[in-house]
Structure 1
Amino acid sequence: MSAFNENEDSVPPGAREFATTRWTIVLKAGRSDTTQARDALAKLCRVYWYPLYAYVRRQGHGPHDAQDLTQEFFARLIGKNYLGDVDREKGRFRSFLLASLKHFLANEWDKAKAVKRGGDQTFVSLNSESAETRYSLEPADTLSADKIFERRWALTLLEQVLARLREEYSATGKAALFDRLKACLTGDRSSLPYAELGRKAGLSEGAVKVAVHRLRRRYRDSLREEIANTVGSPDEVEEELRYLFAVLAG
């Protein structure tokens, strides 16, 4: 049974919170095409546009066409009710977005060429210079379009988590501390120079260890929260987490 159908008294607190995440808002809207659902979808697309752009570029399209394709895709996805066919029980934003893009490239782009991109509306603003700078750093021939999408998706998600954490630390006047400690999120714990970090931050080695422990714990929580924004049920969070780390390790 879906977590959305459980009696409220039997749903764990985390599941109740999960019910308000962005992708579940979109899934629940279905064919009703609510403004809330479109806004939630637009917010997700603004975050995760680059993996789609990279996919289109790896398919052989030049920078200008890739920007046009990506922009027109978002205009149609967000501006029109394309949500009715989403599997409301098993939908994942990552899978939905890539499948929708493939359908658009195969069936819709030729029809859209004669129409001004997205009419007069721009739903997701793309910085073509930034996009190409990022794409120029991608491996030249080692990844297929699907693989580059998956890897960029995983990295974009991690970037979102780090950006959110930095905002949290900045709000309490600890942005500099975060900048010093963030390397500890991926470094080898046994080789981390806690004493040196403490000297630079004006903290004891013990205080640094406590701060790193708290940062890692918040990082894990934030990572799951961000993943929850892109899957259809609480049960899918851990599975998606394993998938993302497998992509990054591959």
Structure 2
Amino acid sequence: MVGKAGAEQTGVAAEALETLCRAYWYPLYAFLRRSGYPPHDAQDWAQSFFEYLLENRVMGKARQEKGRFRSFLLATLKHFISSEQRRLAAQKRGGGRPLISLDDATVEERYAREPAEWHTPETIFELSWARTVLARAAATLEQEHAAAGKQIVFARLQPYLQSGRAGPSYAETAAALGKSEDAIKSGVLRLRQRFQQLLRAQIAETVETSTEVEEELQHLRRVLTA
């Protein structure tokens, strides 16, 4: 995905970049809010930054430089804001074609549910990134079940995605779906395996090798359990 977004300006490149922006806009918004920007300014800067990425083909540098894409993106945001503040001063930011529509209420409600203030802007970015990756993988899994006409099955099995999470017993779910407990256990195992595949696919969009995918997965787990 990063490779496509960094390619010469084509419809495919623009679509890939927009997909990445949609995946990362909330982690960046959370970083900006925790950095002290009020809600409107945080959205304003995030929107302007995405326009900057689209218009200046910055993504090509992400392919050339070593390191994680999320780290590259955060460093680029910091540099962008610093440069814009020096150059524009009090001039109104933005004004270009909106790349992503941000809902003030929805965004701020989500941010209000974030952990206590001891999180730094960087750690809140990392946490938001990890949650976003999980959410996108889960959304794809749900879409796959919906396409197969298995929405009800997914709704019943979804609580088991996280091992150790409190929820209905296998017996209760089996009774609700008219299946045996063994069938439910097998279904949960397949669901978890597919979720892990989708999780790896999400991460693989921003790194180059399978080794890096595993490293990012380990980092994601550390972030979520910190």
Same fold (TM over 0.5): yes
Q: Which residue of structure 2 aligns with residue 194 of structure 1?
A: 170
User: Quick one: which amino acid aligns to residue 24 of structure 1?
Assistant: G
1:117 and 2:94 matched: yes
Q: How many residues align?
A: 225
The residue that corresponds to 2:123 in the other structure is 147
CA distance in 2, matches of 1:118, 1:187: 46
- 1:1-250 alignment to 2 at 5 Å? 22-27=1-6, 29=7, 32-88=8-64, 90-112=66-88, 114-115=91-92, 117-119=94-96, 121-188=97-164, 193-250=169-226
Give the Å deviation of 1:116.
5.2
Write the letter of the residue equivalent to 1:23.
V
Q: Measure how far apart 1:84 and its partner are.
A: 4.2
- By how many angstroms is 1:88 displaced? 2.6
The list of structure 1 runs, each at least 4 consecutive aligned residues, that deviate by more than 4 angstroms after superposition, is: 189-192
Matched residues in 2 for 1:223 and 1:34: separation? 27
Residue 89 to residue 145, structure 1, CA distance change in 2 (3 Å) = closer
1:124, 1:198 → 2: CA distance?
A: 42
Q: In structure 2, how many angstroms separate the alpha carbons of the residues matched to 1:62 and 1:190?
A: 37
Give 1:41 shift: 1.4
TM-score when scaled to structure 2?
Answer: 0.91
Identity %: 45
Deviation track 1:137-182 (CA, whole Å, cap 9, x = no partner) reads 1123120000000000000000001100001111111111111111
User: Residues 170-203 of structure 1, C-alpha deviation per residue, up to 9 Å, x if partnerless?
Assistant: 1111111111111111132898611111011221
- Which structure 2 segments of 5+ residues have no match? none
Supply the distance in 2 between the matched residues of 1:137 and 1:191 (Cα, whole angstroms).
22
Please list the CA deviations of residues 47-95 of structure 1 after superposition, one character each: whole Å capped at 9, or x if unmatched. 2210000000000010111111111111111122223433536353211
Query: 1-side partners of 2:117 and 2:25: how far apart?
Result: 22
- Give the Cα–Cα distance (whole angstroms) in 2 for the partners of residues 106 and 236 of structure 1: 30
Amino acid at match of 2:2: W
Distance across 1 between alignment mates of 2:92 and 2:55: 15
**Structure 1 contact 92–231 (Cα < 8 Å) conserved:** yes
Q: State whether residues 24 and 232 of structure 1, in contact with CA within 8 Å, keep that contact through their aligned partners in structure 2.
A: no
Report how far residue 26 of structure 1 moved.
3.0
Instruction: Answer yes or no: is the 8 Å Cα contact 1:150–1:247 preserved in 2.
Output: yes
Within 1, Cα distance between the matches of 2:34 and 2:197?
A: 33
SS of 2:62's equivalent in the other structure is: coil
CA contact (8 A) 1:151 1:248 kept: yes
Which letter maps to 1:212? V
Higher relative contact order (CA 8 A, sep 6+): 1
